[in-house]
Amino acid sequence: MAEHTVVFDAAAEVSVPRGTLLADAARKAGVEISQPCGGQGRCGRCAVKVTKDGVRRRSTLRLSAEDVEAGYALACQTVVEGDTEVTVPAQEKIARLLTTDRTVAQVQVPTGYSAAADQTIKRFGLTLTPPSMVDQTDDWSRFTAGLRQQAGIELGHISLPLMRQLGAVLREGEWQVTVVLDLAEEAAPRLIAALPGLLPDSAPLWGAAVDIGTTTVSLWLVDLLSGEVQVQTAEYNRQISRGEDVISRIIYGSKNDGGQEMRGLVLESIGQLLERGCRRAKIDASEVMKMTIVGNSTMMHLLLGIPAASIRLSPFVTAVNQVPPFRAEDVGIGIHPEATVDCIPGIASYVGADITAGVLSSGMDDTESISLFIDIGTNGEIVLGSHDWLVTCACSAGPAFEGAGVMHGMRATRGAIEEVWINGSTYEPSFRVIGGGQPQGVCGSGLLALLAEMFLTGILDKGGNLNSSLPTDRVREGEHGLEYVISWGHETKNGDGPANDIVITRVDVDNLIRAKASIYAGFTILADSVGFPLEAVDQVLVGGSFGKYINVEKAVQIGLLPDMPWEGFQFLGNTAVKGAYLALLDKHARARISDIASRMTYIELSADNSFFEAFTSALFLPHTDMDRFPTVAKALQPELETEE
Amino acid sequence: MAEHTVVFDAAAEVSVPRGTLLADAARKAGVEISQPCGGQGRCGRCAVKVTKDGVRRRSTLRLSAEDVEAGYALACQTVVEGDTEVTVPAQEKIARLLTTDRTVAQVQVPTGYSAAADQTIKRFGLTLTPPSMVDQTDDWSRFTAGLRQQAGIELGHISLPLMRQLGAVLREGEWQVTVVLDLAEEAAPRLIAALPGLLPDSAPLWGAAVDIGTTTVSLWLVDLLSGEVQVQTAEYNRQISRGEDVISRIIYGSKNDGGQEMRGLVLESIGQLLERGCRRAKIDASEVMKMTIVGNSTMMHLLLGIPAASIRLSPFVTAVNQVPPFRAEDVGIGIHPEATVDCIPGIASYVGADITAGVLSSGMDDTESISLFIDIGTNGEIVLGSHDWLVTCACSAGPAFEGAGVMHGMRATRGAIEEVWINGSTYEPSFRVIGGGQPQGVCGSGLLALLAEMFLTGILDKGGNLNSSLPTDRVREGEHGLEYVISWGHETKNGDGPANDIVITRVDVDNLIRAKASIYAGFTILADSVGFPLEAVDQVLVGGSFGKYINVEKAVQIGLLPDMPWEGFQFLGNTAVKGAYLALLDKHARARISDIASRMTYIELSADNSFFEAFTSALFLPHTDMDRFPTVAKALQPELETEE
């Protein structure tokens, strides 16, 4: 077989047979290429720039047309077919190619935050008297006496590794020592670190807030003294390579060493974020003294290595909702080994810490007005209530709104159609693509818009059936029944092979309608459970990054969100990591989350007899009961007239 | 070179060159032979039985003449010189050959011991309601609620590994579970174990008391419910192979990975005792839920992996005297990983937990009468006091009374001369040998008796000089000056080579006198420090296994012990392990040790100006000041007359 030469970064040269993956060639050349998704072409992290072209791209799913034009290729999806030269970009550059980091939020330090009053991690400098023949006190007693006298603290806990280091630390610092303590348990202060010498008061004291999403892990690095967020960073959860949704991860994690593997993968994701974040902050990860973590219940179990199988089996119980604090080393997180890892409490198998943290950061638990909080992802978690009461449920919406289970669905990354408009006369669409360029598929917000536009223009009827009698060739018979062509293949010029049309099929439409029906049925069950009319809700708070990009009007038109004045909707972005940040900073916020978790009433929809009826009623666009959607009914009126 | 065949246990056959060590031949044959001392011929654990003789024994130090007669040989000290057949005895059989276990004590359960009132480790059986669709409480909350309702306990601490197991344990036991808790910290009960199903109330709850001696490690297995000691076992401390005394161990432990190695060696010693003890008790080591450990400060530091260097360097401070409780897994001890390891507090670098525990078990802290407590080993630790006050000091006596630094000194094992009488007319000695048979050397109690007999018979004068003008050939000029022959070589028929005479030299006598002077000087400094006349002491309590075998009269005659009526002396055996046992059982005893540790005043002899004078005065037999030894002065009177 023919051999070709591949040169990496004008330095490492290797000869490989024709057809070798660039990723394998790189490995042979000793060049490191990141492959968090395991070489499945999904994460885009293995992007390299081909400077002398001798390759064939099998897939460019994670690259925009411009990127490909500029020479980029995914090393895991590209084979060598001639002599080739390649440069491997710095990971920072690849991160900018991708869009996971595009939701960086502006975060205000909470008004009135005071580390002295609110923070449980404290730092003190101690100056001790050296031992002598007339004062042979042991190091440990000398140290604890200093802490008692100079900081007023009676130490409760110390680990054996810290005990082993203490003597050397005291002598290295010539009997001056900086201590970091966790004072969360008032009765038993815990020593986190003893460092030689004294630090200036202005030196930051580092903490991290982490949201482990099923898809994306986010990490914020925070100075616990000022409260300021110094770095925000996010990355795909490496567990994706073992399953897209929580159910498939639980199944994988329950097999043989699957649990260990899942734990290792999410720890790797956190480790990668820590490395990147600490590089940006110019610190060592061992300087991080506390981490507060949120995530859905499955993510928390997998992180902690706690078997999650009971979550998916009736009667659907978690092993633990209120996780006690653990040491970072015990959890396996590479910050200071003695750092506190505080896992925020969840409520139930499918209403986790991401929701309790979300409720906190939404503020709905602290106001008299009645709010409806929703976080739409693979599951739609819903909370209804106020500072007097809170009820919650989880709807297994399925991953349709994340682009899975839909023929041309994709995540909200570069190349995804995120907004769609359809001309009511010609049935021709126009759309907006994330990052511009040619479309690769349709993400959740695009699917939502598409469904609404198709419905409003009469391409879909109330029952979700496509109308084949319209004067357009975009509605056609496909492999899976009727489908609508969003973008013709000849318009998408990527790759070498014949480009595919991007379509939405009848099956896709059914999946999307089931997803939205599941969520809307959740609203009605929650409202009915407390006898509160859904229409009387004061505000709808939409969390999660998905919520940030949807068009409310269209979400109402398809019956995903309740029909109420637009000013009542608020889009809050990643409420989970924000809640983790607030809990990391402020013990009062942390106590509020515990309070939220303990007083929120969970309603198990699969045990609720009225759920199926509510779901069935919602399996229409927007709903069987049009009285619930007066503005939609009004908007449809002219269309209906035209049709008739 | 000639090859010979060695057959092990009539099964494994191997051919080796002439001169090969039996231990090496065994390794080649894949036969496992224990070598705790590292093949130095000191521990005797590698004893094998030669059934077809083709060997030469280089050393039989750890074997009696009868054992050698019966065919025993040390594999590490025996070379192959012909075709040989060997059987490897079970380790239990070897243990009986040796004498480390000969000090097994009869232990009474303390009067009135009640596990319910006194023990901090508690066991409860819980029966929980299984989860259902109407009760989706998470496993952890269900468990903690059951503990609260059925045992009245609010759980404070759980480790992550236990949290991981909990769901499986609850389901395996069909929602019946046995829990073991540490309630020592009242505010924060700690979960040690959760086991599936319920146990009968009569099932033992296991704990272990351990004394880590510089020479010997002792372990008692105890049923914490009945308080009964079920197994007593002891073994050489494997650290011996890296140094005989604490100073040489600290030095070794301070080099490179020496600390890790020392820690590993003592952990191996404990592991071996656990294995043997648990086999005898027919339990698994993971059933042991608590271990209470005593030892001198160096032993405790080395066990915990805490650098011990500061102990031997001025100003002689330990890293820690009051060690907080740790988990067994953190310490590295192979009992239940969550079991509590409670290290008893020490006082100073050279007055450790063995002494505080010893004081407790002596009861001297609980009586109005004034006691003098001494534990003679490599160091002599002394405590003077009552329930009102306690003072302590450590005398660096050196290892002379353990048989080291003395030409024919040896430990108190089989073959050691342990008692000596000398005829005042003929100067001929008679003696008793441990285990009978031919003498190999002289152990501590034998040396003490020898010194006293030589002094009383005039072979030694007050200054420790040998009298060469006596009508006996036993006092003769040796390599190191004058010496006294205890046993002629022709009387000791062991081995093939010419047998040596067993002698005591002028240098040996000086070493022994310095050792006893150091201890007696300690007595006088302690008594002076509180202004209490030594002669007015009500009782002298002698701890340590050495103390168990010495002859009081002779100890007084050489000036090692103060001259007081014999009924005032008590010999308590291993007070350290007994104290550990009491503290393991009873939280009130444990609190008493803490109280002893905090109120005992430590006097640093090297900082005491009067010590040197006291030491110099004691460098005579029995002392410069004969008024301190009236009964000795009286006993000497006829001898002195004879001399004049």
Given a cut of 50, the residues of chain A with pLDDT beneath it are: 37, 42, 92, 95-104, 639-644
Q: Is the CB of residue B346 less than 8 Å from the CB of residue B356?
A: yes
Contact between B178 and B127 under an 8 Å Cβ cutoff? The reply is no
**What three-state secondary structure class fits A496?**
coil
Tokens 């048989």 belong to residue: B403
Instruction: Check CB contact under 8 Å for A319 and B188.
Output: no
B607 → chain A, closest CA residue: A133
In this complex, do A319 and B132 lie within 8 Å of one another by their Cβ atoms? no
Q: Is B332 on the interface with A (CB under 8 A)?
A: no
User: What confidence category does residue B104 fall into, taking pLDDT thresholds of 50, 70 and 90?
Assistant: very low
Could you tell me the pLDDT band of residue B157, with boundaries at 50, 70 and 90?
Answer: confident
Closest-CA distance, A296 to chain B, in angstroms, reads 14
**pLDDT tens profile B30-44:** 887 766 545 656 456
Which residue is closest to A326 within chain B, CA to CA? B160
**Predicted pLDDT of residue B600:** 96
Q: Which CATH class is domain A206-343?
A: alpha beta
What pLDDT score was predicted for residue B100?
35
Which of B155, B267, B320, B331 is the best residue to mutate to test the A interface, defined by the most A CB atoms within 10 Å of its own CB? Answer: B320
Hey, are the CB atoms on B160 and A316 less than 8 Å from each other?
Answer: no
Among 3.40.50.9100, 3.40.190.10, 3.60.21.10, 3.10.20.30, what is the CATH number of B3-98? 3.10.20.30
Residue B552 in this model has a pLDDT that exceeds 50: yes
Does position B498 have pLDDT exceeding 80, yes or no? no
Nearest CA-CA partner of B140 in A604, A317, A392, A603: A317
Query: Does B319 contact A166 at a Cβ distance shorter than 8 Å?
Result: yes
Cβ-based neighbours of A145, under 8 Å, separated by 6 or more: A137
Nearest CA-CA partner of A355 in A378, A395, A383, A379: A383
Q: How far is A604 from chain B (nearest CA, A)?
A: 8
Segment B262-268 shows an average pLDDT of 97
Residues of chain B positioned with their CB less than 8 A from the CB of A166: 319-320
Q: Do B319 and A349 touch (CB under 8 A)?
A: no
User: Can you give the pLDDT at residue A342?
Assistant: 98
In chain B, residues 597-616 whose CB comes closer than 8 Å to chain A: 602, 604, 606-607
User: How confident is the model at residue B509, as a pLDDT?
Assistant: 96
pLDDT tens per residue across span B266-279: 999 999 999 999 99
**Element housing B421 (H / E):** strand B416-422
Assess A326–B contact: CB distance below 8 Å, yes or no. Answer: yes
Nearest residue in A to B326, CA atom? A160
User: Could you identify the residue written with the tokens 């949290």?
Assistant: B163
- The reply to whether A137 touches chain B by the CB within 8 Å rule is yes
What is the per-residue pLDDT for B522?
95
Q: What is the pLDDT of residue A40?
A: 56
On the question of pLDDT at B93 being above 70, the answer is no
Residue A241 pLDDT: 82
Which of A133, A319, A331 lies nearest to residue B166, judging by beta carbons?
A319
Percent of chain B's residues with pLDDT above 90: 67
- Gap from B164 CA to chain A (nearest CA, Å): 4
pLDDT 10s digits, B190-212: 999 999 999 999 999 999 999 99
**Is the model's pLDDT at B2 over the cut of 70?**
yes
**DSSP assignments along B217-257, one per residue:** EEEEEEETTT--EEEEEEEE-GGGGG-SSHHHHHHHHHSTT
Can you say how many angstroms the Cα of residue B579 is from the centroid of all Cα atoms in its chain? 13
The CA distance from B456 to B553, in Å, is 12
pLDDT at A209: 98
Sketch the domain layout of chain B as residue ranges: 3-98, 115-196, 206-343, 363-398+517-639, 400-512
Q: Which of B160, B310, B347, B606 to mutate to test binding with chain A, by most A CBs within 10 Å of its CB?
A: B160
Q: Which residues contact A632 (CB under 8 A, 6 or more apart)?
A: A556, A557, A559, A563, A622, A626
**Long-range contacts of residues B12-17, Cβ cutoff 8 Å, at least 24 apart:** B16/B80
Mutate one of A135, A136, A191 to test the B interface: name it (highest B CB count within 10 A).
Answer: A136
Give the lowest-confidence range in A143-152, A536-545, B135-144, B631-640.
B631-640
Interface subset of B 153-192, CB within 8 angstroms of A: 157-160, 163-164, 166-168, 187-188
> pTM here?
0.81
CA distances from B41 to B44, B62, B70, B572 (A): 6, 7, 19, 31
How confident is the model over B226-238, as a mean pLDDT? 94
Cβ A408 vs Cβ A504: under 8 Å:
yes
Q: List CB contacts (< 8 A) between B607 and chain A.
A: 133-134
Q: In angstroms, what separates the C-alpha of B320 from chain A's closest C-alpha?
A: 5
Quick one: pLDDT at residue A554? 87
- Is residue B14 scored above 80 in pLDDT? yes
pLDDT of residue B64: 66
Nearest CB among B158, B160, B317 relative to A139 is that of B317
Question: By CA distance, what is B602's nearest residue in A?
Answer: A136
Q: Which residues contact A492 (CB under 8 A, 6 or more apart)?
A: A438, A439, A440, A499, A500, A502
B55 touches B81 (CB < 8 A): yes
- Of A167, A348, A606, nearest to B307 by CB-CB distance is A167
Fold agreement between A206-343 and A363-398+513-638: yes
How much is the average pLDDT of B574-591? 96
Kindly determine whether residue A315 and residue B166, on different chains, have CB atoms separated by under 8 Å: no
Cα separation, B38 vs B36, whole angstroms = 5
- From CA B644, how far away is CA B635, in angstroms rounded? 16
Q: A231, A177, A234: which is closest to A207 by C-alpha?
A: A231
In chain A, which residues have their Cβ closer than 8 Å to the Cβ of B134?
Answer: 607
Give the nearest chain B residue to A328 (CA atoms). B160
Helix (H, G, I), strand (E, B) or coil at A338: coil
Interface check A337 vs B, CB under 8 A: no
Is residue B106 predicted with pLDDT exceeding 80? no
Cα first-last separation, chain A: 67
Residue B103, pLDDT score: 39
Q: Which two tokens stand for residue A461?
A: 């009827």
Tokens linked to B36: 């705790």
Write the residue in A160, A188, A306 that is nearest to B331 by C-beta.
A160
Instruction: For B161-184, write each residue's pLDDT tens digit.
Output: 999 999 999 999 999 999 999 999
Residues of A with Cβ-Cβ distance to B191 under 8 angstroms: none
Least CB–CB distance from B321: residue in A135, A138, A164? A138
Contact B139/A315, CB-based, under 8 Å?
A: no
Give the pair of three-digit tokens for residue B260. 């890790």
- Under CATH, which number does the domain A363-398+513-638 receive? 3.30.420
Contact B319 A604 (CB under 8 A): no
Provide DSSP, B443-502.
Answer: -HHHHHHHHHHHHHTTSB-TTS-B-TTSS-TTEEEETTEEEEEEE-GGG---SSSPPPPE
pLDDT above 50 for B613:
yes
Q: What was the pLDDT predicted at A476?
A: 96
What's the 3-state SS for A383-439?
A: EEECCCCEEEEEECCCHHHHCCCCCCECCCCCCEEEEEEECCCCCCEEEEECCCCCC
Query: What CATH number matches the domain at B363-398+517-639, 1.10.4160, 3.30.530, 1.10.3470, 3.30.420?
Result: 3.30.420
CA distance B609 to B621: 23
- For domain A115-196, the CATH class is alpha beta
A141 touches chain B (CB under 8 A): yes
